[in-house]
Amino acid sequence: MNTVLQPPGWAAPKGYANGIKASGDFVFVGGMIGWDANEKFPDGFVAQTRQALENIVAVLAEGGAKPEHITR
């Protein structure tokens, strides 16, 4: 069974999932860009990069994972 991961308050993505928790507790993260939960970009590259990383952490948390669980 797969579960779509959608952090509370985020706008629903169109055509993709922010994350998926798959059988066996695999969490897949996709579509992470530098906008916030309201789909607004902060000013500047550094701020957008920080936001993209915060987005990844939020999706991982929704799946019961943390950054230290990331593999490649």
**Residue 67 CB partners (closer than 8 Å, separation 6+):** 56, 57, 60
Query: What's the pLDDT at 51?
Result: 97
Query: What's the pLDDT at 65?
Result: 94
E strand spans, 1-72: 3-4, 19-22, 26-29
Q: What does pLDDT average to in each consecutive run of 10 residues of the chain (72 residues)?
A: 90 88 86 93 97 96 93 69
CA distance 21 to 54: 18
Query: What's the pLDDT at 31?
Result: 86
